[in-house]
Structure 1
């Protein structure tokens, strides 16, 4: 059966609306009833789909809480893969962080209340804490590999891992520490970016080493 581009576009928009409805329904129920007490059937019913159809969008309740993690990571890797000859290590790291924070704190991704709720869930639910730790370690390693591949002659795998661990850890801790004071998505963005800039100030040694190596070769 042939489908026009308009029909495909309509179907995709409908899928995106249903996915968004599932996320909103789940977060609302997690807030009102608690994560453990909320069932998949309740989330599906609130989005006007069957429980069976739910699994076409998410594999579990945990997946809803971390619904944007993989997409955000893929964006970061793509930015590193597109580095230019005059890019510096710290410049690229700040570009990745800035893009990721802007994406994560855009109004399309939810409200500041959603962000706080997800943070509170991850901080209090053991299953989500374990999932977050696994994802954190895995994504840091993947990002470190991408950074090393972007600058193979400038950054060793160990330096890449240390840089990514430092900057991501600083951002997450700063956002958690500022959760009560940051009253808007923009405030969360600036908190994360400031933390990144603090770490990058210390990582500039990587750029200086790169510059010194270039001078020696010249």
Structure 2
């Protein structure tokens, strides 16, 4: 009579073990890739080298990522869903400025707690802003992200913000941050310095959106 529950427990344990192993392999590939990107450059690094550094086969690499670009943007969906959740979680009566401040604070906190280290995060920022193929994908993702966030903001402020106003607010915030980071980007900039630039730009943008509250 106890065989079935024990069997189910064993199967669940094995599934959990496999999932943890997959997560470790995925993380090893990400860390190996950023280490090589920093040492050799993005274009010069091959998929085979990344796989070798992570101690897996190239075939295994393709079980996790389709390309080197995917490694750079490995957490884009997760970060977008977090941001949408912040906006959707607007408290009753919370102002636009209040929601955007929470969005910035949560995004910064998530960036600080991300799986990448500060050095790797700085490498990623530099690569996205300087590598043509990554710039193209980054711009595409940026457009989709802003559209999703604008729609979420419009829904959270139903009857208070038009779609145009919601889109303008999100565009002003993200545009200010992105442009400030690009304008102040230098090879020797640390992650903390890049983050400070982003925070300052966000503060300026949010303070200017008070007229919509």
Q: Same fold (TM over 0.5)?
A: yes
- From 121, 128, 135, the equivalent of 1:122 is 128
Contact kept in structure 1, 2:181 and 2:194, CA below 8 Å = yes
SS at match of 1:70: helix
1:27 and 2:14 correspond: no
Contact kept in structure 2, 1:147 and 1:160, CA below 8 Å = yes
Give the drift of 1:54: 1.4
Distance 1:46 1:157 in 2: 47
Distance 2:195 2:128 in 1: 19
Distance 2:156 2:69 in 1: 32
How many residue pairs get aligned? The number is 205
- From 134, 137, 148, the equivalent of 1:131 is 137
In structure 2, the CA distance between the partners of 1:165 and 1:174, relative to structure 1 (3 Å rule), is same
TM norm structure 2: 0.87
SS at match of 1:143: helix
Per-residue CA deviations over 1:54-102 (Å, capped at 9, x if unaligned) read 1222121001111122111100111112222121112111111210111
Structure 2 unaligned regions, length at least 5:
1-6
SS at match of 2:83: helix
Distance 1:139 1:100 in 2: 13
Distance 1:125 1:183 in 2: 19
Cα RMSD (Å) of the superposition?
2.0
Contact kept in structure 2, 1:62 and 1:128, CA below 8 Å = yes
Distance 2:115 2:30 in 1: 10
Structure 1 unaligned regions, length at least 5:
208-218
Which residue of the partner structure matches residue 102 of structure 1?
109
